[in-house]
Amino acid sequence: MSEPILFSDLALSEPVMRAIQKVGYEQPSPIQAAAIPVLLAGGDILGMAQTGTGKTAAFALPLLSRIDTKQADPQILVLAPTRELAIQVAEAFQKYASEIPGFHVLPIYGGQEMTTQLRQLKRGAHVVVGTPGRVMDHLRRGSLNLNNLKALVLDEADEMLRMGFIDDVEWILEHTPKTRQTALFSATMPKEIRNVCNNYLTDAKEIKIASSQSTDANIEQVYWMVSGTNKLDALTRILEVEPFDGMIIFVRTKTATVELAEKLEARGYSASALNGDMNQQLRERTIERLKTGKLDIVIATDVAARGIDVERVSHVVNYDIPYDSEAYVHRIGRTGRAGRSGKAILFVAPREKRLLYTIEKATKKPITLMELPSGATVTKHRIDQFTQQITNALQEQPDLSFFNDLLAEYSHSNDVSPEQIASALAFLLQRERPLQVKFTDVKPERSERRDRDDRGGRDRDDRGGRDRGPREDRPRRERNDENMDRYRIEVGRNHEARPGDIVGAIANEAGIESRFIGHIKLHDEFSTVDLPTGISKDILAKLKKVRVRNRPLEISLDTGPRGGDDFPGRGKPKRDFGPRDGAPREGGYRDGGRDKPRFNDRDNASKKSGYRPKKFD
Ligand code: AMP
């Protein structure tokens, strides 16, 4: 890797720099390093980048650096394919503008009360982030004034094309000042998008972040699709059963290195942060401790871990996915040193799937799906550790006569067998870290596995996007609306059905306008969908035969749980595809709430797994 570009090299405005410092970003991602100077200089860009590359900050940071808060009319317009992305982008702007006094950003999307939006627009916003349909509405009504627009960003342009918004996008482009600066981001470059670039971008700098990289053959590469449990819990489960020597865990921010190190330490692991805020001496000391085995786990950012060469690093965990394949290759190259074998584990949120495929393609190595250790596996592991402790204690041949006498006396006077006493003691010993572990949320997302297993060489453009909620511009009825009935359909996640497919099929075949189609909840083998009451038998008969992902819907009124289903309870799904639900489901740093493990011995088995039990005082 060449010398890193720093944020301080990029001439961003003071308040934006302070905000970056606050969120803890250490270094610009490749797309940011390439895009920021061009956008700061007022140029157009065509960025081929997907979610997870840091593309939002790549346009938000430079555009915010040039904002004039005294001008109340919108200066920046971002078009996004879905309301959920619009909200996310607006939130990102808010975050990066946290140090700009008086700054306003406004997300506008279909399904939201028009009157509220009109009022908010009247109040003024420096940045508007909207879905194409709703932005067009406002332009037509004259409620959105783009006369002073300085910059227009088309985010996820290929998604907008796929969702049929491209004409709207062009219409909006036609209705903005020709002097505007334009940035277009797209994960793929179909010819329609290329045409938009040719027609509406001026001397655009093309930025493509993809390079072919090779990885060492002696590194086993696996990924876990973030689902069903949060990342921290998943990590601790892996740490329990995975025999590792030294480990580097990569996260994106300096703050995250510290937070995660603290959480792992609280769980009994010998872990420490390594980030660019630490001075050289402290960093070197941390690496030295890792080298000599005084420390087992280092939680690092890319910058801080640059060039670490520690032979005993047997595992690399990509807790946060890297921005690109180059960073991935660099990260996993921290293991498998000096001819040893290594293992690289990658956490991938559903919306980051596309980045996983990019990495795989660039490294030309398959990354296989791993399942989280089950409760039974963790139990077995803990039992092994426990019995090993007993064996160790007996092998050490300490003088046990005092305890023998004590327990013999107890056994005699209380008339209980030695086994009963031993069981009671074992019970007491494991109370804080039970030997029998049950997880309720271990079920892996089978649909994800299938998605990967049969992907072959097919084009994945329509599958790799974020885990979306329903299409925008569709005001969903409330789930508990009395005018809605809940139906069950026999297609689900395992058949790769998505809410959009279901809405499309029902809307087309039953002639029900999509805005009257209520909440959709995907389960593995089936789904539920809320539809207006009073649907005729004829329509239902028709819908029974309608196919989604080549399976008939077999629609029926939902009557609650059936044998073998994963249905959580009659008519009240825990999660539904409401407006914000497609937002990333990363576990973040939620504390799993588990007790600190504490044993009074450091046995071999536990050492092998990197687990360092705390001593009783
Ligand atoms: P995006 O590709 O815009 O969806 O961003 C993906 C994630 O990367 C978001 O959670 C951002 O907060 C994070 N991110 C963006 N830029 C940086 C950076 N320079 N350093 C660390 N994290 C970043």
In ligand 1, the atom with minimum distance to the C-alpha of 7 is: 19
What separation in Å is there between the alpha carbon of 585 and the centre of ligand 1?
15
**219-364 maps to which CATH number?**
3.40.50.300
Comparing CA positions, the residue from 451, 453, 454 lying closest to residue 464 is 451
List all residues whose CB is within 6 A of at least one atom of ligand 1: 25, 28-29, 32, 51-57, 252-253
The ranges of the chain with pLDDT < 70 are 1-3, 210-217, 228, 338-339, 440-483, 508-515, 561-617
What separation in Å is there between the alpha carbon of 55 and the centre of ligand 1?
7
The per-residue pLDDT for 485 is 83
Strand segments (E) across 113-270: 127-130, 151-154, 181-186, 205-208, 219-225, 246-250
Measure CA of the first residue to CA of the last residue in the chain; give whole Å: 47
d(CA 26, CA 8): 10
In ligand 1, the atom with minimum distance to the C-alpha of 27 is: 19
Mutate to test the pocket of ligand 1, among 56, 159, 226, 586 (most ligand atoms within 8 A of CB): 56
What separation in Å is there between the alpha carbon of 323 and the centre of ligand 1?
8
Domain 7-208 homologous superfamily, CATH: P-loop containing nucleotide triphosphate hydrolases (3.40.50.300)
Each domain of the chain, given as residue ranges in start order, spans 7-208, 219-364, 376-429, 477-579
The per-residue pLDDT for 511 is 65
| Burial tier of 537 (Cβ tally within 10 Å: 0-12, 13-18, 19+) | exposed
Assign domain 477-579 one CATH number from 3.30.70.330, 2.40.10.120, 1.20.5.510, 2.60.40.10. 3.30.70.330
The per-residue pLDDT for 333 is 87
Residue nearest to atom 8 of ligand 1 (CA): 54
Mutate to test the pocket of ligand 1, among 29, 63, 93, 95 (most ligand atoms within 8 A of CB): 29
What separation in Å is there between the alpha carbon of 45 and the centre of ligand 1?
19
| Distance set, CA 465 to CA 129, 226, 499 (Å) | 19, 15, 13
Confidence (pTM) = 0.55
The per-residue pLDDT for 137 is 93
Residue nearest to atom 16 of ligand 1 (CA): 54
The per-residue pLDDT for 364 is 81
Residue nearest to atom 13 of ligand 1 (CA): 54
The per-residue pLDDT for 318 is 97
Tell me if 7-208 shares its fold with 219-364. yes
| Distance set, CA 27 to CA 4, 9, 325, 584 (Å) | 8, 10, 16, 22
In ligand 1, the atom with minimum distance to the C-alpha of 584 is: 10
Interacting residues of 540 by C-beta distance below 8 A, sequence separation 6+: 555
| Distance set, CA 239 to CA 206, 317, 372, 611 (Å) | 42, 10, 11, 8
Residue nearest to atom 9 of ligand 1 (CA): 54
What separation in Å is there between the alpha carbon of 154 and the centre of ligand 1?
18
Residue nearest to atom 14 of ligand 1 (CA): 54
User: pLDDT tens for residues 151-181?
Assistant: 999 999 988 888 888 999 999 999 999 999 9
The per-residue pLDDT for 248 is 97
DSSP 447-466: HHHHHHHT-TT---TTTSS-
The per-residue pLDDT for 551 is 85
Mutate to test the pocket of ligand 1, among 5, 10, 25 (most ligand atoms within 8 A of CB): 25
What separation in Å is there between the alpha carbon of 28 and the centre of ligand 1?
9
d(CA 267, CA 432): 12
User: pLDDT tens for residues 462-485?
Assistant: 323 333 333 333 333 333 455 678
The per-residue pLDDT for 501 is 77
The per-residue pLDDT for 122 is 92
Residue nearest to atom 11 of ligand 1 (CA): 54
Residue nearest to atom 6 of ligand 1 (CA): 52
DSSP 257-293: HHHHHHHHHHTTB-EEEE-TTS-HHHHHHHHHHHHTT
User: pLDDT tens for residues 536-558?
Assistant: 777 888 888 888 877 889 999 88
Neighbours of 594 (CB within 10 A): 12
In ligand 1, the atom with minimum distance to the C-alpha of 52 is: 2
User: pLDDT tens for residues 381-410?
Assistant: 999 999 999 999 889 888 999 999 999 999
The per-residue pLDDT for 586 is 27
Helices (H) and strands (E) in the chain, counts: 22, 20
291-302 exposure pattern, b = at least 16 Cβ within 10 A, e = fewer: beeebbbbbbbb
d(CA 394, CA 387): 11
DSSP 63-97: HHHT--TT--S--EEEE-SSHHHHHHHHHHHHHHT
Comparing CA positions, the residue from 321, 324, 327 lying closest to residue 345 is 321
